[in-house]
Amino acid sequence: MTTEATDSGNPYHFGFKKSKNGELPSIDQEGFKDIVKEHKAIFLGDTSKKELYLTFDSGYENGYTAKILEVLKARQVHAAFFVTGHFVKGQPDLVERMVNEGHLIGNHSWSHPDMTQISIDKMKVELDKVKEKVASLTKQKEMYFMRPPKGVFSSQMLVASMELGYTNVFWSIAYKDWDVNDHKGWDYAYKKVMSQLHPGAVILLHSVSKDNAEALGKIIDDARDQGYEFKNLDKLTSKNY
């Protein structure tokens, strides 16, 4: 296959109407709901249950992933880490630790390109390189989840990645946490996440954030106090939109 991913529709940037006061978030007004649903990408889990799915994008290491792993281990929470080639090459010990401690490794591409602007052949190479490198380092020999870089996707990209065996994972809780020059303190991160909690939430955090690393323990503890249970993506059996 050499067709450009943009041939089957325009690219979309994933976005959503945030949850407030426990109400469900929405992608009804974003213009891509039918595409996401048709291609079985993940936006929400089971919205009838107080379940949370914790996911991290790990494009590079900024000194906080080990702390995040320590917090998760202490609280017996398993998460999904979407890694790039840069992270896998530079942090093999952390990647191995993730798998050894029960976390899932997801595919965030080798070089973080806009997947809608490269050929399907190139997209396959991007995904295969991450999957093969993780398999060579860890006990995780298969990879079933991916998150397109920058949340940019198209219908054809979703189709092609499904044919490669991937489920695309978007999110229903997020905030601007990727800017390492804009740390605002753990309390800011805590409030941004907790104010958006809702049943079936897929939480996106970036592991480069000092604020996230410092807020994570309290986020987990207080979410559990509210009756929420943390599950990993391989336990997500009901997709909602």
Q: Name 101's Cβ contacts closer than 8 Å, sequence gap at least 6.
A: 69, 72, 73, 78
Distance CA 57, CA 81 (A): 6
Half-sphere exposure of 115 (CA within 13 A, CB side): 31
57 is annotated as an active-site residue? yes
Distance CA 139, CA 61 (A): 21
Q: Name 12's Cβ contacts closer than 8 Å, sequence gap at least 6.
A: 30, 31, 32, 35, 152, 153, 154
Between helix 120-137 and helix 92-100 the angle, nearest 10°, is: 70
Give the pair of three-digit tokens for residue 75.
């609280």
Residue of 57, 78, 103, 108 marked catalytic: 57
183 is annotated as an active-site residue? no
What does R_g of the chain's alpha carbons equal in angstroms? 17
Residue of 78, 103, 108, 206 marked catalytic: 206
- Residues with active-site annotation: 57, 206
